[in-house]
Structure 1
Amino acid sequence: MSGILFLASPWLFKYNNGTAAQWVIIIMGCLLLLMAIFTNYEAGVVKQISIPTHLTLDVYTGAFLIITPWLFGFSDSTRWPYLAFGLFEVFAGRLTKKFQDARTSFS
């Protein structure tokens, strides 16, 4: 769901102007969708990334999103969606259960 929200956010929050603010979040959304496809969980298709690895990558992508407005120079115009999405990713990655219950595991 995060990937879809990231892809839609330039239009939802009115920063679909072709700048780095738009393209960085679109690229991150695509990466999150790819990661979801490759994760070994219910919605995963290829199932090559473990849940702990996925959650660790969520924390790193969240941290990257938090610093992105200053890194790419759009902190004055479009920082709040990036901060909110980044914090969400960090907290989701840190607070989600990191092991699979054998009863609910899909192979």
Structure 2
Amino acid sequence: MTPRSAQVAEWQNGSCPEHSSPCTVTHQKRSLEIIDTRTHGAIDYLTGALLIIAPYLFGFATGGVEQWLPQLLGAMTIVMSLLTPHELSLAKVIPLKVHLGVDAANGVLLAVSS
């Protein structure tokens, strides 16, 4: 067994390579999260609102794609956040993995459109 496969085997058996005692599944899952879902939801609402008003704040509200693309993505971000299972949502319709994938795609789209 290679060192890497030994580490994977330790995790599968519930042992954490960073701690002397075994870790629970909850601890292992939590250690992979960067931010909790409540914080992510709050950031989504703030980001959506900023994307909607950005063309006016930064002087590119010309009626063209440079205006409507961030506004569309901002509105979509707010609606998607309202429908994703977290503490600040209204309904639990969109799975979190789908939400995160759309977040990443929106980021790439905004980056290449500037």
Offset of 1:50 from its aligned partner? 2.1
Equivalent AA in structure 1 for residue 71 of structure 2: I
Unaligned stretches of 5+ residues in structure 1? 69-78, 80-107
- In structure 1, the residue matched to 2:112 is 67
RMSD over equivalenced CA pairs, Å: 1.1
Alpha-carbon distance in 1 for matches of 2:75, 2:61:
16
2:99 aligned to which of 54, 58, 69: 54
Counterpart CA distance in 1 for 2:78 and 2:90 is: 11
2:92 is aligned with what amino acid? K
TM-score by length of 2: 0.57
Q: Deviations over 1:58-86 (max 9, x none)?
A: 11111111112xxxxxxxxxx3xxxxxxx
1:17, 1:53 → 2: CA distance? Answer: 32
TM-score, scaled to structure 1: 0.60
Q: Distance in 2 between matches of 1:53 and 1:42?
A: 17
Runs of 4+ in 1 over 3 A off after TM superposition: none
User: Counterparts in 2 of 1:26-37, with a 5 A limit?
Assistant: 26-37=71-82
Gaps of 5+ in 2: 1-45
Query: What SS does the aligned partner of 2:91 have?
Result: coil
How many pairs align? Answer: 69
Secondary structure, in 3 states, of the residue corresponding to 2:82?
A: helix
Aligned equivalents of 1:29, 1:6: Cα separation in 2: 5
Provide the secondary structure at the position in 2 that maps to 1:43.
coil
Higher RCO (C-alpha under 8 Å, 6+ residues apart): 1
Q: Report how far residue 11 of structure 1 moved.
A: 0.9
Give the drift of 1:7: 0.3
Deviation at 1:43, TM superposition (A): 1.1
Identical-residue share of aligned pairs (%): 28
